[in-house]
Chain A
Amino acid sequence: DGGITQSPKYLFRKEGQNVTLSCEQNLNHDAMYWYRQDPGQGLRLIYYSQIVNDFQKGDIAEGYSVSREKKESFPLTVTSAQKNPTAFYLCASSIGGTQYFGPGTRLLVL
Chain B
Amino acid sequence: GQQVMQIPQYQHVQEGEDFTTYCNSSTTLSNIQWYKQRPGGHPVFLIQLVKSGEVKKQKRLTFQFGEAKKNSSLHITATQTTDVGTYFCAGTAGTYKYIFGTGTRLKVLA
User: A-side interface residues toward B, CB under 8 Å?
Assistant: 31, 33, 35, 40-45, 48, 50, 56, 58-59, 90, 94, 97-104
Min CB–CB distance A76 → chain B (angstroms) = 15
Contact of B88 among A40, A42, A56 (CB under 8 A): A42
Please, which residues of chain B bring their CB within 8 A of the CB of A59?
Answer: 1
Closest to B4 in A: A42
| B96 near A43: Cβ-Cβ < 8 Å | no
Closest to B43 in A: A101
- Interface flags, B16-47, vs A, CB<8A=1, else 0: 00000000000000010101000001111100
Min CB–CB distance A37 → chain B (angstroms) = 9
Closest to B6 in A: A42
| B42 near A45: Cβ-Cβ < 8 Å | no
B72 at the interface (CB under 8 A from A): no
| B42 near A101: Cβ-Cβ < 8 Å | yes
A-B contact pairs, 30 of them (CB 8 A): A35-B100, A41-B102, A41-B103, A42-B6, A42-B100, A42-B102, A42-B103, A43-B43, A43-B90, A45-B97, A45-B98, A45-B99, A45-B100, A48-B97, A56-B97, A58-B97, A90-B42, A97-B33, A97-B92, A97-B98, A98-B33, A98-B45, A99-B33, A99-B35, A99-B45, A100-B45, A101-B42, A101-B44, A103-B41, A103-B42
How far, in angstroms, from A42 to B31 measured CA to CA in the complex? 19
How far, in angstroms, from A102 to B33 measured CA to CA in the complex? 17
Residue with the greatest number of chain B CB neighbours at <10 A, chosen from A31, A40, A42, A50: A42
How far, in angstroms, from A96 to B97 measured CA to CA in the complex? 12
Min CB–CB distance B38 → chain A (angstroms) = 12
| A50 near B96: Cβ-Cβ < 8 Å | yes
| B31 near A97: Cβ-Cβ < 8 Å | yes
Residue with the greatest number of chain A CB neighbours at <10 A, chosen from B35, B98, B100, B103: B98
| B43 near A48: Cβ-Cβ < 8 Å | no
B85 at the interface (CB under 8 A from A): no
